[in-house]
């Protein structure tokens, strides 16, 4: 209201040309001056300065920044924090050990563990808990050490733990697992893993792995499975690399009384069958060395 009255006063002329205009202007000025006086009297108690707000704000900030604890208490808190983080800076036990020492520790631990899947899994979980990268190479070397000790059951547990972590899912790992299962008298389980993980695509499977499965079937009197796997390999265009494989299939046909199939097999692979096998070459080289030694003597 005050601003509106002031704007009106500003627009009024300062000179008047007639007496009537002077009377009108006087009445106008009187009414607006009374209005302005009323407004000022009504609001004179309000303080529009910002000094009070600024002062109260500064006091509030000073109260916030004022320490609530004595200096000695703050020092004690800092000491406690440093003490609690000192162990984290040092790292877990065994951080400064070399990979060889860690691997030896793992092998010795696994050899002395009780025969429990949960115990083995918990031990392996603790062993890799503080490793930045999964120690696959160390585990492979540990498995080799367990093979020398013929700890086939423990090898199966370690490989299954690795696979459960999504690690080491290679053809070599499954070959090692299948071999350990047969050594642990679990040929049926080895067959199930072969069927589930490998047999769906035989084309990229190395002949060494295929020969291993044929030998497992042969040693465990699983002759039907042996013949079936051999025919599947033939259907993929895989030609057996040695006559050792042909001999196992031939014996399977013989024991199952399948004489016609045996004859057809020998006719098909007669060239391969007449070649000396790797074992024959080894025997021949050994006999040759023996003859040379006798002649030299």
Domain with 163, as residue range(s), is 95-169
Do residues 105 and 144 both lie within one domain?
yes
The count of other CB atoms within 10 Å of the CB of residue 256 is: 14
Helix (H) or strand (E) holding 34: helix 19-43
Q: Give the Cα separation of 297 and 282 in Å (integer).
A: 23
Kindly state whether residue 104 falls inside one of the protein's structural domains.
Answer: yes
Q: What angle do CA 224, 227, 231 make, to 5 degrees?
A: 140
Eight-class DSSP state of 264: H
Burial call 176-185: b when 16+ CB within 10 Å, e when fewer: bbbbbbbbbe
Do residues 165 and 201 both lie within one domain?
no
Kindly state whether residue 29 falls inside one of the protein's structural domains.
Answer: no
The count of other CB atoms within 10 Å of the CB of residue 253 is: 20
Burial call 76-107: b when 16+ CB within 10 Å, e when fewer: eeeeeeeeeeeeeeeeeeeeeeeeeebbeebb
Do residues 141 and 200 both lie within one domain?
no
| Spans of the chain below 50 pLDDT | 2, 6, 9, 12, 14-20, 22-23, 25-26, 29, 45-46, 48-56, 58-69, 87-94
Handedness of CA 278, 280, 281, 282 (dihedral sign): positive
Do residues 165 and 200 both lie within one domain?
no
Kindly state whether residue 101 falls inside one of the protein's structural domains.
Answer: yes
Tokens of residue 93, six digits: 């036990």
Do residues 143 and 200 both lie within one domain?
no
Kindly state whether residue 228 falls inside one of the protein's structural domains.
Answer: yes
Closest CA to 42 of 1, 7, 9: 1
CB 184 within 8 A of CB 156: yes
- Please state whether the predicted TM-score (pTM) of the whole model is above 0.75: no
Residue 48: what pLDDT? Answer: 44
CB 1 within 8 A of CB 34: no
Burial class of residue 244 in the structure, from the number of CB atoms within 10 Å of its CB (0-12 exposed, 13-18 middle, 19+ buried): middle
Residue 137: what pLDDT? Answer: 86
Kindly state whether residue 113 falls inside one of the protein's structural domains.
Answer: yes
Closest CA to 110 of 79, 71, 153: 153
Do residues 201 and 165 both lie within one domain?
no
Residue 2: what pLDDT? Answer: 47
Kindly state whether residue 136 falls inside one of the protein's structural domains.
Answer: yes
Kindly state whether residue 67 falls inside one of the protein's structural domains.
Answer: no
Kindly state whether residue 138 falls inside one of the protein's structural domains.
Answer: yes
Eight-class DSSP state of 69: S
Label each residue of 156-207 as H, E or C: HHHHHHHHHCCCCCCHHHHHHHHHHHHHCCCHHHHHHHHHHHHCCCCCCCCH
Give 193-261 as a DSSP string: HIIIIITT--TTS-HHHHHHHHHHHHHTT-HHHHHHHHHHHHHTTPPPSSHHHHHHHHHHHHHTT-HHH
Ramachandran category for residue 247: left, alpha or beta (phi over 0 → left; psi -120 to 50 → alpha): alpha
The structural domain count of the chain equals: 2
Ramachandran category for residue 150: left, alpha or beta (phi over 0 → left; psi -120 to 50 → alpha): left
Tokens of residue 67, six digits: 């320490």
Tokens of residue 115, six digits: 């025969």
């Amino acid at each position: 209201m005050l601003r509106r009255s002031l704007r009106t006063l500003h627009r009024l002329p300062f000179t008047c040309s007639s007496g009537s205009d002077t009377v009108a202007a006087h009445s106008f000025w009187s009414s607006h001056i009374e209005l302005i006086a009323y407004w000022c009297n009504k609001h004179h108690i309000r303080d529009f300065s910002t000094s009070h707000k600024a002062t109260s704000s500064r006091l509030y900030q000073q109260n916030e920044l004022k320490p609530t604890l004595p200096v000695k208490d703050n020092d004690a808190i800092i000491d406690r924090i440093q003490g609690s983080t000192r162990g984290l800076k040092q790292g877990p036990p065994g951080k400064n050990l070399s990979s060889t020492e860690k691997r030896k520790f793992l092998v010795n631990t696994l050899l002395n563990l009780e025969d429990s899947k949960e115990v083995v899994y918990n031990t392996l979980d603790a062993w890799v808990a503080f490793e930045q990268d999964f120690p696959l190479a160390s585990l492979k070397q540990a498995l080799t050490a367990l093979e020398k000790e013929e700890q086939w059951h423990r090898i199966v547990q370690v490989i299954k733990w690795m696979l459960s972590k999504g690690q080491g899912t290679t053809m070599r790992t499954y070959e090692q697992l299948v071999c350990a299962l047969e050594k642990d008298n679990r040929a049926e389980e080895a067959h199930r893993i072969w069927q589930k993980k490998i047999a769906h695509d035989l084309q990229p499977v190395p002949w060494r792995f295929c020969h291993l499965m044929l030998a497992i079937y042969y040693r465990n009197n699983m002759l039907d499975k042996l013949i079936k796997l051999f025919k599947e390999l033939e259907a993929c265009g895989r030609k057996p690399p040695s006559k050792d494989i042909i001999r196992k299939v031939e014996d399977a046909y013989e024991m199952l009384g399948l004489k016609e199939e045996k004859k057809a097999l020998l006719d098909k692979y007669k060239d391969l069958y007449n070649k000396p096998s790797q074992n024959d070459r080894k025997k021949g080289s050994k006999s040759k060395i023996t003859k040379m030694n006798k002649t030299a003597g």
